[in-house]
Structure 1
Amino acid sequence: MFTRLIAWSLHNRLLILALTLVLCLLGGYTLKQMPVDVFPEFAPPQVVVQTEAPGMATQDVETLITYPLESAINGTPGVASVRSKTSVGLSTITVVFDDRTDIYRNRQLVNERIQQMSNRLPPGVNPPVMLPVTSAVGWLVKYALISDTASPETLRTISDWTIRPRILALGGVASVVSLGGEVKQYQVRLIPERMLAYGVTIEEVRQALTTANQNVPGAFVHQAGSELVVGTVGRIQSLEDIRKTAITVRKGVPITINNVAIVAFGGEIKRGDGAYNTKPAVIGTISKAYGADTVTTTAKVEQALKNIKQTLPAGVALKTEVFRQANFIESAIHNLTRALLEGAIIVIAVLFLFLMNWRASFITFLSMPVSFVIGLLVLHYFGIGINSMTLGGMAIAIGEVVDDGIITVENVVHRLRVNRQEINPLPAIEVVFDAVLEIRSSVVYATVIISLVFLPIFFLSGIAERIFSPLAIAYIASVLGSLVVSITMVPALCYLLLVRSQEKKEDAEVSLHALSQRERHYGVEQKTEHNAESETRFVRWLKGHFLTALHWSLAHFKAVVAMSLAAFLFALALLPFFGTSFLPEFHEGNFIVAMSTLPGTSLEESMRLGQQVQKTLMRYPQVISIAQRAGRSELDEDALPPNVSEFDLRLDFNKNKFMPPDELLRLIRADLANIPGAVFNVGQFIAHRMDEVLSGVRAQVAVKLFGDNLSTLNELGQSLEAVLKSVPGVVDVNKEQQINVPQVIIKIDREKAARYGVNVGQISEDVQVLLNGVSVSSVLEGQRTFDLYLRMDEPGRDSIKAIQKMLIDAHGQAEANLSQIPLRAVTDIKVEPQPFAINRENVQRLLVIGFNVQGRDLGSVIADVEQEVQEKIKLPAGYFIQYGGQFESQQQASKVILTFGALVIFIMLILLHKAFGTFREALLVMFNLPLALIGESYLSLSPVAR
């Protein structure tokens, strides 16, 4: 097959060049269509379900919402694991599916399950909502809105109603989440004393507001041959409309909302806030859709934000580079492109030194981009885009890609030179054919054997397979592409550029059939001794030194073998000191600092501490900007409690080129350790996301402690945390805050409630209205919609005593004819410790302690951790520990690579035996493999990644 293909390429050389041109044009077009991203989509298909239950205690949320939904979802086909986080008023369930499943089918299956459970959830619980489909590293851009003159309400309205709709209209954007500022509401704040004086109940106010804000369609009126539509316009247009709304009539006098409540604009109860460079801000997070092109989508988003900037009110500033994922992509592509270019320059220089022929150098150089075009087309066929891994695979392949061309061109150049010195030279086309055919077998076997090295990668699982398989495909496709190029385009170009005009005249009589049959006459074994006169001066000089070294080695072969063996054994002895890691470190140009304070810490206190953190970090010249996000916003994928903040640091390492990122990271950790009352975790965005995909925790290693009793879990967790902190190399130890915090418990006395003619449901609804508030309707301002919110005025709910005095509706069935009674009359109100948060995995409670590794390799740190935990932690029956994150994936990957690595070595041996004909020569080649460890041990300064 190869013989005929080479012969056909030589006879149809112009057609080959035309096909190559078409291939390159197709590759250029395909390149523009391929998505560009930081990494391949490394997260398995996931569906996140959030359910809000305003004001509901953590254990109630777990029992009434999380557990039923988990149980319903667990039986869904394709589910690999189910993780959940339950906190006050919020249940977040993450459903992880098998790798090969379709994300949209998964969402449909999950939606069917949660719809079955929606009707069984308690009253007052919002329906479960599936968050939008986003990429694992979905954050595209973060922006900040700041102003010294505009109100927080104005900033939030701009973000929600000006920026958000315009960005969502762009293709490739999945969500825009705003955090901070004040969400505008039309608020009706009840004054209990006025309600009691007018004899008005909460339910009457609620009904009045609901019915007073609607447009009702009427009918049709026919007049003078025309048809007129009749409609009732009753929607609220202003605060004054609300004030004038009638509740009831007492003795012929209307009682309006204005009589019993304060009507004003206000902000919703905040569970999150933002700041930018110590100033209050609205932080917007723009996430890309699943599979969207990061660079293209970022460009569209930035153009839209640039246009929006020009329309903002005076005094409002829009900062658009709080976070920009494309920076890392562009830097990675630039570095890899530079590496490819530098490699190409080195290749050209080496080629010219060896061949001293610019045409031969041009042919070899041209084979590289054509081979990479074939690689790109293969990647596109498999649905793989341009990212760091695929470009890295091509960068690694550059040596092998050019090698095929070098071997072919060098042999053709040599054969043509020798043929010209013959008395009866052969036709040039036969010489080119023989030269290509002579090294065909070597090139094919070498290419296949090199490609086999990457075979174990395709048997990996999880994040390792998703990250590294595109690299392997890019490498193998490029190398196999170079094989195709070396037996098609390269022979055609060699004939066109290296054969002289007078030599081509003699080739007209050589037919395609005669050329393709030359193998049976000459065969691959026919060889011509190299003539020194046909070699360049540099090659003759190099060969002279090589022969000197070769002669010495052959004369002292025992000494050479002894030195090689000693070097190998010494390298083998050094290997344990290198350590191991799962993934190499990334330098993204951005840091993320996570701050956790004690559970129960208010949002205001988190923001105050955040100011201190920002001032501390802004002293570093490398820090360009800092944005703080505390707590969460509605439908925020990162559903953080108010005591947790994240800081996005944008860095410029050029401002201090002598300080590497690792050193800056160490100094930041040291400074943050001096801030009391908080625990910090410092890392990078993509590294954090990878860790979260691996274990659900934003840390390199997650120690998972499973058990039923929350108090026991917390006690064991404290002991485990102390043990981890004692291990050298362990940093950023962060135990999940699953402790009890004080909560106000309102226990209804059913007997007393019956005495006043009220039931449990009515009391619960009134308490919800008074304390948390409810949205009773919505007010339209053009295309914008704002909640009409009913709640108690602030002075009536700012303390335990005030809550006890709150007035709720009564029906006066017994002791007195009262419209309202104090809450304490039918309830027992006290402060009790309750769980702050409850985490679960596969329907089991757990506590997770995450930590990072610094100054040591991952493998040795984990070994020390396991030994210390085994010696110092005694677990009760029913409790157990699992290690997750990079360590777990490293162990799985190591087993697969060792198993299939042995298989690959065996296949290599078989191929070498087929190539050489004897096992003796095959084993001789294989014995060179261990010697490669010498270079790895002496030249590499990094841990062994596996």
Structure 2
Amino acid sequence: MSSKLVSSNSKPEVLQDKLHHNGHHGHDVPDVNRASGLAKFFFLKTVFGILLIVLLTLGGLMGYQSMVKEADPDVEIPMAIVTTSWSGADPETIETQVTDKIEKELKSLKGLKKIESSSFNGFSQILVEFQANANVQESMALLRQKVDDAEPEINSEANQPNIEQISAQDVPIFSIALYGNLDPAVFSRAAEDIQERLEKVSGVREVNLAGQRKEVINVQLIPSRMITLGISPTTVSDRLRVANQDMPWAQIENEQIGAQVRLYGRFRTLEDLRSLPITRLGGSDGRVVRLDEVALVRRDLEREKTRAFISWQGSEFEPTVSMDVVKVPGSDSIKVIEKTLEQLESLKQDLNVWPFGMDYRITYRQDEEIHDEQNSLISNVIQAVIGVFIILFIALTWREAIIAGLSIPLTFLGAIFLLWIGGYTLNNMILYGMVIALGLLVDVFILMMEGMHDGLFVEGLTFNQAALKTVKTYAGPAFSGQMTTILAMAPLLVISGTMGKFVRLMPITAIICLLLSYAIALLIDIPLSRFVLGNVKGGMQKTRIDKLTESASEWFKNWSLKFTVRNRATASAWIVGTIVIFMTSLVAVAQLPGTLFPDTDKRPLSINVELPPTATLEKSQQVADDLGEILRSKDYFESVTKL
């Protein structure tokens, strides 16, 4: 027998598989020699598993570094705001001569869902929302066409309507408050200079200011002199408008010189403006009347439109200029914030831009939220790995625990790799999908390791036999289980509306994780477990958990035969009872209040108080002061900004 085996060309491992096969007369023990080439390559060889680990690991790390990181996904929203300004017009005039005219045209828009309009002092706002399934680009084009059709009906003194599409990326990612004991003109000028510099930072779309007052030139007419000289206000207004502009004149070209002549007519200094000729008295030979004879010209601040104050950690409110940074859609929020902070620190060292005595505080930064969500996911993954390791360490052995535990982070690295290839960004919806998948994907790893453990320790099979039997026994049920879970998530993929565009990212991510976990369990866990289970000899002594499991299974089988299926009447009673409990649970669930996104505590909190359009700035200030004092007294607020 011995000499016969030595002279054979078969490998020792194959011979061992033959002997084990001959020693087990059960029909369920696979014959390794009859396994297909693909089965041997994917489940018995380690080459493909190692290459797949390298691909998923490196791809996941590259994807994480390269993916755009943001809080909310960049989803196209079929909504737009039509704003029309008319300086000096009251809300009633705006309503009848602007808002109503535009609304009349917009009501016939294709795919329109609803229109909401508001008229204020000096401007009109109309919110237009299309059906969620409408083509966004086509809808915006139709909206512009309708607004153009309405323009001839609008009062000619009103400015051209402005159309702005609403985007999920319109929310500021970074907010700061400038403060300091400075002259309002210096303060506002510095804020505008900083705004201009920050808007040049790569990834920044715009920087919105609140609380600043622009410098303006006031021309206050003197009625008594106007009447004496016989000059009308219209004459002065027309002269100011015509004279205050630069324009090209002509291009000079000859053999000696070639140049473009341009008239610089805009006023560069107050003296230029004061000396502006308004008219000539008494014909062509009469005296020239200049602006400073009929008006007082002075530099001043514009009338207040907004006010901003900040209280830091309960301190008294002090005037501030609030700056909100909005990023370019598709840019990385974390990188944009880092670049903005670098630019701020650079500007702070430049005394030509940053006046002495001014400082800033960061009131909101989105990158902290993004880091918190990512850290939460990492924490959940670590907890899952530890939990799986402990359970399998107790139930099986440390070998299976290590394999199943390490498979969890590998799944998420692979998911990030596939999402990166698919062009997705790393946002909260993606992270929520991974958290959902975390509690569902561990089962397949545990199942495969349980199969390997039973084959090696309980049935005494060789590694190859245990691997093939595990695949044959558990691959089908595991796939059915994964598909059942995936189909349960399918309704989330067909949620309509703008919310559906956000929500469907969660099931997409969870499905990718579930399919990937199934592939990892079969193509990596089983073949690569050879490194820790390959030296286990068949027929090794059963562990205490194995013996306990067998005893529990035997007890449950006997109990079921005695109490649940001993006859048809008993089995029917159990079925009816189960159905009743299930229906009761459905009714109970229906009674619970439901919400798609539960309320969560986040750092920023916004309180909006809407006052009548006729409310003055002083009235708004009074309301803001009363509310600000209440909020400032709460020690859990780091800062309170009132606008």
Query: In structure 2, do the counterparts of structure 1 residues 383 and 568 end up closer, same or farther at CA, with 3 Å as the change threshold?
Result: same
The match for 1:97 is 130
The match for 2:178 is 145
Residue 206 of structure 2: which of 142, 152, 175 is its match? 175
8 Å Cα contact 2:270/2:297 also seen in 1? yes
SS in 2 for 1:623: coil
How many Å apart are 1:569 and its aligned residue?
A: 7.7
The match for 2:102 is 69
8 Å Cα contact 1:56/1:88 also seen in 2? yes
The match for 1:334 is 375
8 Å Cα contact 1:274/1:282 also seen in 2? yes
- Residue 402 (str. 1) matches residue 409 (str. 2): no
The match for 1:466 is 501
Per-residue deviation, residues 425-452 of structure 1 (Å, max 9, x unmatched): 66x4344222222211111111111211
- Residue 315 (str. 1) matches residue 357 (str. 2): yes
The match for 2:515 is 480
Taking the TM superposition and a 5 Å limit, the aligned residue runs for 1:878-897 are none
Residue 23 of structure 1: which of 46, 56, 60 is its match? 56
> Aligned residue pairs: how many?
591
Query: In structure 2, do the counterparts of structure 1 residues 174 and 230 end up closer, same or farther at CA, with 3 Å as the change threshold?
Result: closer
Query: In structure 2, do the counterparts of structure 1 residues 289 and 244 end up closer, same or farther at CA, with 3 Å as the change threshold?
Result: same
2:357 alignment partner AA: G
8 Å Cα contact 1:41/1:466 also seen in 2? no
8 Å Cα contact 1:40/1:466 also seen in 2? no
The match for 1:159 is 191
Q: Which has the higher contact order (CA 8 A, sep 6+)?
A: 2
How many Å apart are 1:350 and its aligned residue?
A: 1.4
Aligned mates of 2:394, 2:494 — CA distance in 1: 42
Q: Percent identity?
A: 22
2:443 alignment partner AA: D
SS in 2 for 1:265: strand
8 Å Cα contact 2:77/2:167 also seen in 1? no
How many Å apart are 1:460 and its aligned residue?
A: 1.7
How many Å apart are 1:36 and its aligned residue?
A: 2.5
Unaligned stretches of 5+ residues in structure 1: 504-529, 630-946
Name the structure where strand makes up a greater proportion of residues.
1
Per-residue deviation, residues 536-590 of structure 1 (Å, max 9, x unmatched): 2234345545655665565444799599789768756754663333431122122
Aligned mates of 1:195, 1:315 — CA distance in 2: 45
8 Å Cα contact 1:13/1:492 also seen in 2? yes
**Structure 1 vs Structure 2 CA RMSD:** 3.3
Query: In structure 2, do the counterparts of structure 1 residues 75 and 370 end up closer, same or farther at CA, with 3 Å as the change threshold?
Result: farther
SS in 1 for 2:83: strand
1:247 alignment partner AA: I
The match for 1:900 is none
- Residue 210 (str. 1) matches residue 241 (str. 2): yes
Residue 413 of structure 1: which of 432, 442, 453 is its match? 453
Aligned mates of 1:230, 1:615 — CA distance in 2: 60
- Residue 297 (str. 1) matches residue 339 (str. 2): no
Per-residue deviation, residues 174-196 of structure 1 (Å, max 9, x unmatched): 32221212111122122222221
Aligned mates of 1:40, 1:343 — CA distance in 2: 27
TM-score normalised by length of structure 2 = 0.82
Aligned mates of 2:553, 2:499 — CA distance in 1: 42
8 Å Cα contact 1:309/1:318 also seen in 2? no
How many Å apart are 1:21 and its aligned residue?
A: 0.9
Aligned mates of 1:187, 1:4 — CA distance in 2: 89
Moved more, 62-71 or 102-111: 102-111
Query: In structure 2, do the counterparts of structure 1 residues 80 and 552 end up closer, same or farther at CA, with 3 Å as the change threshold?
Result: same
How many Å apart are 1:11 and its aligned residue?
A: 5.6
Per-residue deviation, residues 761-793 of structure 1 (Å, max 9, x unmatched): xxxxxxxxxxxxxxxxxxxxxxxxxxxxxxxxx
Taking the TM superposition and a 5 Å limit, the aligned residue runs for 1:739-758 are none
Taking the TM superposition and a 5 Å limit, the aligned residue runs for 1:537-936 are 537-541=544-548, 544=551, 548=555, 551-552=558-559, 555-557=562-564, 561=574, 575=589, 578-597=592-611, 599-629=613-643
How many Å apart are 1:481 and its aligned residue?
A: 1.0
1:187 alignment partner AA: N
The match for 2:388 is 347
Residue 283 of structure 1: which of 322, 332, 347 is its match? 322
Query: In structure 2, do the counterparts of structure 1 residues 102 and 613 end up closer, same or farther at CA, with 3 Å as the change threshold?
Result: same
Aligned mates of 2:66, 2:131 — CA distance in 1: 28
Residue 117 of structure 1: which of 150, 161, 171 is its match? 150
Residue 229 of structure 2: which of 174, 198, 201 is its match? 198
8 Å Cα contact 1:132/1:174 also seen in 2? no
How many Å apart are 1:591 and its aligned residue?
A: 1.4
8 Å Cα contact 1:135/1:288 also seen in 2? no
8 Å Cα contact 1:80/1:98 also seen in 2? yes
How many Å apart are 1:137 and its aligned residue?
A: 5.9
- Residue 51 (str. 1) matches residue 84 (str. 2): yes
8 Å Cα contact 2:70/2:370 also seen in 1? yes
- Residue 244 (str. 1) matches residue 285 (str. 2): no
1:344 alignment partner AA: V
Query: In structure 2, do the counterparts of structure 1 residues 229 and 466 end up closer, same or farther at CA, with 3 Å as the change threshold?
Result: closer
SS in 1 for 2:609: strand
SS in 2 for 1:127: coil
8 Å Cα contact 1:44/1:98 also seen in 2? no
Query: In structure 2, do the counterparts of structure 1 residues 572 and 461 end up closer, same or farther at CA, with 3 Å as the change threshold?
Result: closer
How many Å apart are 1:618 and its aligned residue?
A: 1.2
SS in 2 for 1:255: strand
SS in 1 for 2:187: helix
The match for 1:491 is 526
Aligned mates of 2:276, 2:102 — CA distance in 1: 41
How many Å apart are 1:226 and its aligned residue?
A: 5.1
Moved more, 116-125 or 432-441: 116-125
1:85 alignment partner AA: S
2:341 alignment partner AA: E
Query: In structure 2, do the counterparts of structure 1 residues 289 and 217 end up closer, same or farther at CA, with 3 Å as the change threshold?
Result: closer
The match for 2:21 is none
SS in 2 for 1:176: strand
How many Å apart are 1:623 and its aligned residue?
A: 1.0
Aligned mates of 1:303, 1:101 — CA distance in 2: 41
Moved more, 616-625 or 10-19: 10-19
TM-score normalised by length of structure 1 = 0.57
Aligned mates of 1:467, 1:352 — CA distance in 2: 40
How many Å apart are 1:310 and its aligned residue?
A: 3.0
Per-residue deviation, residues 569-616 of structure 1 (Å, max 9, x unmatched): 875675466333343112212211122345522102311332232222
8 Å Cα contact 1:354/1:538 also seen in 2? yes
8 Å Cα contact 2:75/2:167 also seen in 1? no
